[in-house]
Chains A and B, each alone.
Chain A
Amino acid sequence: MIAAPILIGEDQLLSLVEKVIKQSEAEGVFVSLSTGEEALSRYSENQISQNISQTRFNLTITSYFGTRCASASTTDTDPEAIAQAVRRSEELARIAPEDPEWMPLLEVQVYEQRTPAFDEATAMLSPLERGKIVQAVCARSDRANVDGSGTLSTEVFLRAVGNSRGLRACSQGTVADFSFTARTGDGSSWSQRTAWAIDQLPIESLTEQLIERAARSKHPREVKPSIYPVVFDGAAFADLLSWVIWNLDARAADEGRSFMSRIDETSKPIGNLLGEAIFSPLVQVQRDAAHPLLQLGTFTSDGLSNGYLKIIEDGVPKNLSYSRYWAKQQGKEPTGSLTPIVMDGTNQSLANLIGQTERGILVSRAWYVRYVNPRSLVVTGMTRDGTFWIEDGQIAYPIKNLRFNQSLPEMLRDVDALSTVQRYGSSVVPGVRVQAFNFSSVTDSV
């Protein structure tokens, strides 16, 4: 049986970072290394249709000469290939134009003192064990007479960064993810869960729940596109919230290119809306890699700490994403990326939220969400895989899928209830209820 991942340890990875830095002839060098194994079983029509394993390694070297820099990468672990990548980055850096936004190499950082989650059973899960789990899901789908499709994946990864100023960081971790779509006639349902250990995934209960929801979604009726209250399943809301967080870039806000831009009476940009109560006071969002459901690494890809950071508190944006260059220009501390995001929930279930809703729409999944207006953060997208009409605190009947055109800042302004949180990918979010959400057209697509 060939199951054990062929990986090196943190010590070896840091040792390789050290070796590469020593090889450098540049005035400064930044090294980023990642390696890992990902296995993913994909099934449709109640059987595995694609089943893969990927063993990966990537080394990126960024060389600096004065304010000139360039990078080169390789996936080859051969010392000669690594040496060639180092030389390639140096050759490019020497002839690169001077960078007016150049920043000196990052100094040694202080990271959170904690160990990211690593689950041995997830790292070592064999193809056969994965196949058996999927087999059980497919068999259950078959018995329920639904067409089941989805994925089960596990990943083990190691990442390290270092530079010639002495910066060093390394972490390892595991991720397991399960997604399932149940289709039956003109009914469909979907959801997803992510965890750092395979045994934390509620595969059996989620499968049951989605099979039941698929049956309830059959024979959807058409409702007139309009503005309605909406209860979002957490899986759907996670997709929408991430668009807001991506758009909390300080430079875009300060330059007048974002919904966070502040403009004067002559419509000129004069900074940003940090500190303004622009969202519902229920909205609390933070970067929290240490959250129990996440327990991710302690640094971002550029070596900055990804320590706890308040992003939105009581509906008030408290921090934007500042690059090192823009932070220096504005006299702020650099934040790096605002992910992973965690939004606070409550102890109410999604059913409680539905029970408190007089009339509205339950959205299980948001699909193909794209900008319509990047400046105001209006997006469009579709509902999918289980859309229901809510009447008098009950799911009344399934409805046909709808297209929405919606300002996402206004969506966060209109949040009036939250449920418990779940992890979806690298985000932890609750289900939410929104007082008003704009649907513009309907489709027959299931």
Chain B
Amino acid sequence: MVQAPAQIATTDLATIAIDRIHQAGCEYGDIRLCTYRSQNLTARDRTLSQLADNVSSGFGVRVLLNGAWGFAASHNRTLAEVERIVNLAVDIAKASHLSQQTQVQLVPVTAYSDTYVTPIAIDPFSVPITEKAELLLQLNEQLLSYGDRGIKKAYSYLRFTREDKIFASTAGATIQQTIYRSYPGFGCTAIANGDAQSRSYERPPLNIGYEHIQPQDLLAQVDRVATEAVEKVNAPLGPSGISTTIILKPTNLFLTIHESIGHPTELDRVYGYEANFAGTSFATTDKLGTLQYAAPWVNFRADRTQLGGRSTLGYDDEGVPAQDWYVIKDGILVDYLTDRETAYRLGRDSSNGCAYADSWASVPMVRIPNLGLEPGPDGSSHTATLSEMIADTENGILIDGIGSFSIDQQRRNFQFGGDAFWKVEKGKVVGMLKNVTYHSMTTDFWNRVDALGPASEREQCGTSMCGKGEPIQLAQMTHACVPVRVRNIQIGGSQ
């Protein structure tokens, strides 16, 4: 195992794997050969607690034999190991066949030969480590300079990834992709009055180069973040057991979109593939085209082509090209998020390209793509800027950033918190609150949206930590959105 293997070109390994899959009589097969380089820096208080440069490489082979799946993966990129892994995947498919009642079938896909590289201005791995480390320690030092006012803890981080993936399939596809990801952020904790409260700021995780880091922007936020953490720890508790109006900034709303729009419309969940773990969905196929999911002025659009989106790329992990489509149009559920298998079950003739595997060792599955809330159109009676929403609110709570989040396994009952809360009274923000949560049922919530921000207030917020599957996989996606105002939402105290 630790001997030097005979080196062979990656593309040749792919060709050999596809040949072996054909020879094994599989109706379909693919191989992904991947190398992930990640650079992670984390500073805690005045120490750089993490400085790591990691490389993970290997390949995964997926075969469909007699309508049953088999998948095997290895870190060892040698000819002998490729042959062993193909044979193992075939054996696994034969074992899957034992319990098979309905054969898996796939919608067709054009066999593309193509390359895709994330457009970037600055390669994150070309920037000196010292520059990155100094930025984080400077951020923390400035946050801790508010120590006499209560800031006792500080953290900051930089995350960079470069993913090199080669996909080849028995359908004839050969696709090479290089995806860059960048993600900076920081936060602090104020300790006072027997309480501890945090405040944070991030430039959202995006597929973009080092130009996303913007040290001056990060440093410029320090004073506001530290001051708000101090105000928050001294703030009164939020109300409990009332219904009120809430105004959600994109930095909070993206996670509500993720949990209550994204996951329920994953078609594998709808069909029960996740029943044992992540759960199923209330948005079943009998409701397609009729379910009034949201107010008529609310539209959600998936888009894997949008510049910088965290799931933006050329092709998904089944070789399906990136595309965009409405999931909720005029408030009605009109489509799902599919891979080739679930699209076939729905009777579609193509997949909308949501297959993703988080590693060479992971099997592709349906994952949420970039899924955004469309801005309110100019001139609409339901379009308002954030300032206009506040000015037009008699009593309410303004929420920024993410905090607590939990939703039931069919994605109806949810409860979310936030990173910062302000009381709104007679059209004005009148002071901070702490420990606020809002609670609703998914369709009740989205049907109570009465104002949407305009395109000028759209932000590309998102997550790099979406867990699903067994073994669990982490996916990454953007939920571009605008501020919204939602009426009559239950507020529960969390003290």
B-binding residues in A (CB < 8 A): 1-3, 6-8, 12, 16, 35, 38, 40-58, 60, 69-81, 85, 88-89, 92-93, 95-97, 99-101, 126-128, 130-132, 134-135, 138-139, 142, 147, 149-151, 153, 179-181, 183, 190, 255-257, 261, 263, 267, 269, 367-376, 378, 380-382, 384, 401, 403, 405, 440-446
Q: Is the CB of B191 within 8 A of A70?
A: no
Of all chain B residues, which has the CB nearest A179? B276
Given contacts A128-B94, A373-B435, A401-B408, contact A71 B52 (CB under 8 A): yes
Bound-complex Cα distance A368 to B152 (A): 30
Mask: chain B, 80-102; 1 = CB below 8 Å from A; 0 = not: 00001101110111111111111
Report chain B residues within 8 Å CB of A405: 415, 437, 492, 494
User: How distant is B82 from chain A, measured CB to nearest CB, in Å?
Assistant: 12
Q: Is the CB of B276 within 8 A of A76?
A: no
Instruction: Find B93's partner among A51, A126, A135, A267 (CB 8 Å cutoff).
Output: A51
Instruction: Find A46's partner among B3, B54, B101 (CB 8 Å cutoff).
Output: B101
Q: Is the CB of B48 within 8 A of A97?
A: yes
Report chain A residues within 8 Å CB of B54: 60, 71-74
Interface size, B (range): 35 or more
Q: Is the CB of A6 within 8 A of B495?
A: no
Bound-complex Cα distance A135 to B56 (A): 34
Instruction: Find B137's partner among A77, A97, A131, A149 (CB 8 Å cutoff).
Output: A97
Given contacts A100-B46, A127-B91, A368-B408, contact A373 B53 (CB under 8 A): no
Q: Is the CB of B276 within 8 A of A380?
A: no
Q: Is the CB of A12 within 8 A of B137?
A: no
Q: Is the CB of B99 within 8 A of A77?
A: no
Q: Is the CB of A445 within 8 A of B410?
A: yes
Report chain B residues within 8 Å CB of A3: 91
Instruction: Find A256's partner among B51, B89, B128, B152 (CB 8 Å cutoff).
Output: B152
Bound-complex Cα distance A214 to B193 (A): 48
Instruction: Find B407's partner among A128, A181, A368 (CB 8 Å cutoff).
Output: A368
The answer to whether B289 has its CB under 8 Å from any CB of chain A is no
The answer to whether B200 has its CB under 8 Å from any CB of chain A is no
Bound-complex Cα distance A445 to B91 (A): 38
Bound-complex Cα distance A89 to B362 (A): 27
Bound-complex Cα distance A367 to B58 (A): 33
Q: Is the CB of B95 within 8 A of A131?
A: yes
A-binding residues in B (CB < 8 A): 1-5, 7, 46-49, 51-58, 68-77, 84-85, 87-89, 91-102, 128-130, 133-134, 137, 152-153, 189, 191-197, 271-277, 279, 282, 361, 363, 365, 403-413, 415, 417, 435, 437, 439, 441, 470-471, 492, 494-495
Q: Is the CB of A403 within 8 A of B413?
A: yes
User: How distant is A194 from chain B, measured CB to nearest CB, in Å?
Assistant: 13
Q: Is the CB of B92 within 8 A of A52?
A: yes
User: How distant is A389 from chain B, measured CB to nearest CB, in Å?
Assistant: 19
Bound-complex Cα distance A55 to B361 (A): 8
Report chain B residues within 8 Å CB of A89: 53
15 contacts between A and B (CB under 8 A): A40-B470, A45-B271, A47-B99, A48-B100, A51-B71, A53-B73, A54-B471, A77-B75, A78-B4, A127-B91, A147-B275, A181-B276, A255-B153, A372-B404, A443-B408
Bound-complex Cα distance A2 to B195 (A): 58
Bound-complex Cα distance A417 to B312 (A): 52
Q: Is the CB of A375 within 8 A of B195?
A: yes
The 10 closest A-B pairs by CB, nearest first: A131-B95, A445-B410, A443-B413, A267-B194, A127-B95, A372-B494, A70-B51, A48-B96, A55-B74, A75-B75
Q: Is the CB of B129 within 8 A of A445?
A: no
Known: A95-B130, A151-B276. 18 other contacts (CB 8 A): A38-B471, A47-B101, A48-B96, A50-B273, A51-B71, A53-B92, A55-B85, A69-B51, A92-B129, A93-B51, A179-B277, A257-B196, A368-B407, A375-B196, A380-B404, A380-B437, A382-B408, A445-B411
Given contacts A8-B2, A151-B470, A381-B406, contact A52 B276 (CB under 8 A): no
